[in-house]
Amino acid sequence: MKLKLNSLFAVMGMVLVFQSPVLAGETDNPAPIQKKIDTVLIGGDFVNVSGPEKKSMLRVLQYQLYKHGESVRHATEPDISDQRLAEMAENHNATNVVAVEVTRVGSTTIILVRAVIDGSSRTETIRLFKMDDFPIAAERLVEGIYSKQSFNDTATASTLTTQEGRPQERKFGELFWGAGISLGSTLTQSTGMNFGGNLRIAYEMTDWRLDSEFSTVGTSNGNDSNHIALDWTLGAAYLFGEGNMAGYIDGGLGLGFQHLDPAVDNNRTGLGALFYVGGGVEMFRFYDTRLIVGARVVLPAYELEKSAQHNSSWEPSVRLTTTFLW
């Protein structure tokens, strides 16, 4: 019986030796399998950006990736070419790679973002006028990555600087209707000050404004001296600056009618083309209702014919206008 027990123990010992890697002499551990991650966030070159600010920007991007349940690993790499990003994705066993480079020039910060998302590459350049808007830009960039859209289609990455990221400024491409009062006088005849009004349609862009205007001025003095002028004009104005108030110069052409009846001469009437040049100030450009104060010199391309003596005269005039647009 004792012999049988000894034989049994011997057999069990041999089995343990062959089954255990340590007892069998297999002392090398197998290489661990690297856990696959979702995204590698790479910080590239940051020019004129302090170390703490760079860390903050990368941290903000990392937070946005975390919001989507991403597992994120951070890396530093000066080369963010497409080939290098693909290598980084393979080295880190990552599905996506997002690389960021930042250059600051004066008060403007230019952000270059290059990403490899599910094997496809995309690049976007963002311009910020103040760093307070970077969290918004970071959120929209991550939205673009997850929606598989162009960064432009997220309506933030590239339009941030003109719609959200800049201080309050006028809108681009607005159509206005307007009305106002006009004052005027001829330059060669003493008819006194003429009073009237104007109606205007204006389309305003960043630096230019297109105007279509109908205006009338007239006066009737007690001594039977009177003057009437009707004008319809098309013109353009160039605005200096994009602030809430900006000066402008303008010019255009149109059609005009004048009737002049001085007390010392026979009445005269004319109808034809005209040209004008002028300038002024546009105010409240950040608001829906604006005020334009301007002056112009009207140069008719026709002469006024006398009804009795058949000789003619050229009658340029000056106009002062105040117009509200809405």
213 and 194 share one domain: yes
What is the domain-level CATH number for residue 298? 2.40.160.20
Evaluate whether residue 250 is within a structural domain: yes
Could you tell me the residue range of the domain that residue 291 belongs to? 174-325
261 and 239 share one domain: yes
308 and 191 share one domain: yes
Per-residue pLDDT tens for 250-292? 999 999 998 877 655 567 788 999 999 999 999 998 888 999 9
Evaluate whether residue 6 is within a structural domain: no
Show contacts of 264-267: CB within 8 Å, 24+ apart: 265/306, 266/306, 266/307, 266/308, 266/309, 267/306, 267/307
Instruction: Give the pLDDT of residue 242.
Output: 78
103 and 221 share one domain: no
146 and 228 share one domain: no
51 and 134 share one domain: yes
147 and 182 share one domain: no
Evaluate whether residue 201 is within a structural domain: yes
- Angstrom distance (rounded) from CA 136 to CA 159: 11
Evaluate whether residue 92 is within a structural domain: yes
What is the enclosing helix (H) or strand (E) of 201? strand 194-204
217 and 128 share one domain: no
The domain total for the chain is 2
- Angstrom distance (rounded) from CA 247 to CA 258: 30
Residues lower than pLDDT 70 in the chain: 1-37, 68-70, 74, 145-172, 189-191, 220-225, 262-266, 307-311
CA 309 centroid distance within chain: 61
- Angstrom distance (rounded) from CA 246 to CA 238: 10
189 and 160 share one domain: no
Nearest CA among 102, 50, 96, 57 for reference residue 73: 96
Instruction: Give the pLDDT of residue 33.
Output: 38
205 and 258 share one domain: yes
Evaluate whether residue 189 is within a structural domain: yes
Structural domain ending residue among the three candidates 120, 135, 164: 164
CA 265 centroid distance within chain: 59
262 and 134 share one domain: no
Evaluate whether residue 287 is within a structural domain: yes
Instruction: Give the pLDDT of residue 259.
Output: 83
Mean confidence (pLDDT) of the chain? 77
What is the domain-level CATH number for residue 110? 3.30.160.100
Evaluate whether residue 22 is within a structural domain: no
Instruction: Give the pLDDT of residue 273.
Output: 95
Structural domain ending residue among the three candidates 133, 164, 195: 164
Structural domain ending residue among the three candidates 164, 189, 206: 164
Evaluate whether residue 11 is within a structural domain: no
48 and 81 share one domain: yes
